[in-house]
Every structure is written in structure tokens, then in C-alpha cells.
Amino acid sequence: QVRLVESGGGLVQAGGSLRLSCAASGSIFSIDSMAWYRQAPGKQRELVAAITSGGSTNYADSVKGRFTISRDNAKNTVYLQMNSLKPEDTAVYYCNVNWWDDSFSYYNLWGQGTQVTVSS
């Protein structure tokens, strides 16, 4: 069993910052890519940022220069530092992780989501 636990969401004023965390635990041999997605009311889930096992990153154009994704491989944790937040960043944020177990089966799992609300 593998579990993802997200934390760090909340209410913040426009221009403020939040840091999201997503920790993976359980029968993990090795984690591949990790990513953050978000879904605003009435909209489709979209990729916010992703990071490979080697540390390469990519970002949605809407968050470039404001958000930073990072990972701590020793802790099986991915972070999303969000600065200069805008009301349009309001959404439920989900982490997504790909990993191998010790039989080299490949899996994907979503976190439970954490609400981020940015007030104007």
C-alpha cells in the first residue's frame, strides 16, 4: 500500500505565498516523476508543475516565475512553493506520483487534494 499525504493549503491574500507538501509512504522501491495538478470549480484538472527523478522541471505558462517545484528524494516528498499568488490560482491542488515497487511494477497515484484559496 502506498499513501500520499498532502499539506500546506489554505487561505491567503493576493500577493502572498504558500508551500504545499506531498509525502509518499509505503511499499515504494523508487519514485519516478512527481507533479502537482490543480482543478478550479467548473474547470478541468490541469498540470501546474512536474519534476523528474533527475530534477528536470516543467511548468504551466500561467505559473512560470511564480511557482517552484522541488523534491526531497530521501523523504519521498514533493513540494510546491507558490509566490505572488493570484485569485485565479484558487483551486484544489493534487499531487501525482509515479513509482516502482520492489517487483518493478509501475504505478501512479493521486493525492487527496488540498484547497488553496487566494482572496483579492
Would you give the distance in Å from CA 115 to the centre of its chain?
Answer: 12
- What percentage of the chain exceeds 70 in pLDDT? 100
Cβ atoms 62, 40 nearer than 8 A: no
pLDDT value, residue 74: 95
Interatomic CA distance for residues 9 and 11, integer angstroms? 7
Per residue in 41-69, pLDDT tens?
A: 999 999 999 999 999 999 999 999 999 99
**Which residues have CB under 8 Å from 13's CB, separation 6+?**
118, 119
Q: Is the pLDDT of residue 9 over 90?
A: yes
- Give the three-class secondary structure for 93: strand
pLDDT value, residue 68: 98
Q: Is the pLDDT of residue 17 over 90?
A: yes
Determine the average pLDDT of the residues in 13-34.
96
pLDDT value, residue 80: 98
pLDDT value, residue 1: 86
What's the full length of the chain, in residues?
A: 120
Interatomic CA distance for residues 47 and 36, integer angstroms? 6
Taking the CB of residue 42, how many other CB atoms lie within 10 A of it? 5
